[in-house]
Structures are given as structure tokens and as C-alpha cells.
Structure 1
Amino acid sequence: MNHYRYKFKKQKLEEYLASGDYSGAIALTERPYRLDRFMDFMDDVAGTEEFCKLAADVWIDSENIHRNLDEWREVWSMVGSSNREWLHDDQEWEAFQSLPEHFEIYRGIGVEGAVRGLSWTTDVDKARWFADRNANLAGVDIDAEPILLTGTVNKSDVIAYFLQRGESEIVVLPEKVELIRRESLF
């Protein structure tokens, strides 16, 4: 049965790629490899609404952003400020538009190296939740501590504002965040 399933998926994937159905190709790809699949053809759709929709879908569906920071920096660097609206659904875009020109954002980390991440939130309680989660997931052989980071950012530097998954997630390059506070949650 598994052999037939693999063969069917492989054939469908080839069909999707040949026809330019990149969304179908990504959906058929196992979750940990979706960013790799997207990067295989992202140059083909760069600068388009399809590129932005696919980038947003793969990002929102990803669990281990930190493992692919360089790749995600490359993806997000290809989204110009004039087409950021394409990353969002109507509710998210409206929420993004209502943000002030300069505002506080939060990031919950569990290990020191995670300070330079791309994912922040406007919800301090969600950041605290991530700090606890990330510290607990770090493992026994890693020096982990739940830490709440507070920063400020200019709205013009925000790449995306995703409301899906209830995270009020701000996607921003770390060098665009001014870190103003670091608080241990122990």
C-alpha cells in the first residue's frame, strides 16, 4: 500500500510542477520540506501575488522557523513594501493598516541564541507563552530560561502581520527591531 501511495504522490507532484500548480505541489509535500519545495520554484513566481500567498501559507504552516533563518530571510527580502498586502487576508490587512507608525512588539524565547528571530507578536501574553514553551522544549543539555523580549518597530519595517493561529504575529527582520527590555520569567 505504501509503495502505491508514494508512487501516486510522486506522479501528482510531477503533474503539479509541470502545470505550474505550485500551491498543489506544496500541499502534497510533507510539512518539514515545504519551505525547500517553495524555494525550488520561488524565482519563477517572484514579485507576484502567488509568491506572496505561497510564502505566507508556508510560513504559517511551519513549526521550526529557527532552523531555516537564512532561507526565510531570503524569502522575506523578496517581498517589497508595495506588495505586502498580498501576504494577508482582508482581516489581517485591515488590522495591519490600523497599527500605529511605531509600536511595541514582544518575543518569547527559551535560549539566548533566539534573540535574533523573525517572529514577534503584539500580544505580550502570547510571547510569555512562547517563552515557557521554548524553554521547556530546549532539552536538558541546553541552558534554557524563559525570557520575554520587548522591542519597538516601525510599521514600515514590518513584513507581515498574521492573525491566524491566534498569535498576532509580526514578521520583521531582527535588525529592524530596537530591543528595549529583556526580562527573565523565572
Structure 2
Amino acid sequence: MALPVPVEEFLAFRKNQARQLMTKGSWLNFVFFHSRPFRMDILADLVRGGHFSENPETYWDLARAVWADSEQPEDDARWRLLLNPGLPGRAAMTHSKDRPLLEEMPDTITLYRGVHAKDDASAKDAALSGWSWSLKEDTAAWFAQRLIGKGKQPYVIGATVEKRDIIAYLTSRNEDEIITDSTCVQVTSVKLQKAKKSREDDLVPMRGFS
């Protein structure tokens, strides 16, 4: 489809829009002004540029939004920078309405994660390659059943983590999601699930827990 203006003029207009958002410090609009595949890199560049040193809570709000929106796999190396940026105020990645719920949780918390793997050992490795877990075993089981690759089986991994090591608790997708570094997780169980026939609503790609 032809553009109503020359490409060069359109790109210059977009560049000027982005510059205005950055000048205003409108970081959420600036990051989401860019296409989804580039948002992680844009946020990483802002972190490296020190743009959140005086207001780190703004960063954690943005990190929550980018995490929820992203379709990048959890073993993408960029997540390590974005979830461990060296900024204080990490509690702000948990929405204010959910922070009291997190505070009420016990010091040691039980987690679950659904993965696809060939055997018990690779299932444990797959679970520890990501950041996203659930407080609900049935949620993990649902993800374990989604889009299972050839030669793999659904597993639910049980684990524990200390509350102090939780990066965020997210409820916006009704998954009771816990974000934590896998190096802080202690695996307690590896359960093979009976594979179920895929349903039509399982065919939408999603980062999830697998």
C-alpha cells in the first residue's frame, strides 16, 4: 500500500515524534512508540543511558509493561539486564494493588512452571531457563499442554523460592505470575503430565511458562 507522503518524509516525521517523547521524558509512550520487536532494546538503551537513575520506579513500571507485552522467549539474554538493571525500587514492578498480597505471602513460597521436554532432566533444565512461574499448579499444567513439540512431553515443575528473591508478582493475566531469577529457585518436583489433544484456543503463540 502506497504511503500518502514520501518515505523519507514519513520517517523524518516519525523520528521527530520519537524525539519529542524522549525530550518530555514520556518514557512509556516513547518505548511503546516503537514496534514490539524493538521495545526490549529501547528500554535497555534507556537503562544504559542512566535515564532512570533519579526515578527508578518509572523504570520498574516500564519493565512490567514490556514484560507483559513481549513475545520474546524467556531465555533471551536481554531479560537478564532488564530484570536485573542495578536500579533500586524493584517492588514497583509489582502493581501497587498486588503488593499487599505479596507482603502477606510466607517467607518461602511454592511455585509451579509448565514446560515441554524429552525427559525429567531436560524438563528441570527447561524450567530453570526462564523467569516466569505461577502460584497455581493448574495454570502451570495448562501451559505444559500448549503447543507441545514433536518428541516432547508436558511436565509441571514444582519449586520453592524465598520471598526476598521475587522480582515481581503479576496478576493482570490471572496467572498469579511470579518473576524470579532461576538461580534463586529450588526445584522440589518434576511431574510428567498426560498429553491432551490441543484445542483451538491453544494455537495462539504466547511466551507463557514454556
Query: Which TM-score bucket, shorter chain as reference?
Result: 0.7 to 0.9
Which runs of no fewer than 5 residues in structure 2 stay unpaired?
Answer: 195-210
- Hey, what does 1:34 align to over in structure 2? 39
Change in 2 beyond 3 A, CA 1:137/1:18: farther
Displacement of 1:67 in angstroms is: 4.7
1:119 is the counterpart of 2:159: no
Which runs of no fewer than 5 residues in structure 1 stay unpaired?
Answer: none
* Separation in structure 2 between the aligned mates of residue 114 and residue 5 of structure 1, nearest angstrom: 44
- Hey, what does 1:106 align to over in structure 2? 112
Q: Which moved more, 1:88-97 or 1:149-158?
A: 88-97
* Separation in structure 1 between the aligned mates of residue 115 and residue 11 of structure 2, nearest angstrom: 38
TM-score (norm 1): 0.85
SS of the residue aligned with 2:159?
strand
- Hey, what does 1:94 align to over in structure 2? 100
Whether contact under 8 Å (1:161, 1:171) holds in the other structure is yes
Which is helix-richer, 1 or 2?
1
* 1:4-29, Cα deviation, whole Å (9 max, x unpaired): 76554333122222333221111111
One-letter amino acid of the counterpart of residue 51, structure 1: Y
Displacement of 1:125 in angstroms is: 0.9
One-letter amino acid of the counterpart of residue 24, structure 2: S
Larger radius of gyration: 2
Whether contact under 8 Å (1:52, 1:79) holds in the other structure is no
- Hey, what does 2:63 align to over in structure 1? 55
- Structural mapping, 1:1-186, within 5 Å: 1=3, 3=7, 7-43=12-48, 44=50, 45-46=52-53, 48-68=56-76, 70-78=77-85, 83-111=89-117, 112=122, 113-116=125-128, 117-133=130-146, 136=147, 138=149, 140=150, 143-186=151-194
Whether contact under 8 Å (2:44, 2:81) holds in the other structure is no
Displacement of 1:66 in angstroms is: 2.1
What is the root-mean-square deviation in Å for CA atoms of aligned residues?
2.1
* 1:45-80, Cα deviation, whole Å (9 max, x unpaired): 147111111111111111223252x22122222366
Paired residues, number: 179
Identity %: 26
* Separation in structure 1 between the aligned mates of residue 71 and residue 42 of structure 2, nearest angstrom: 16
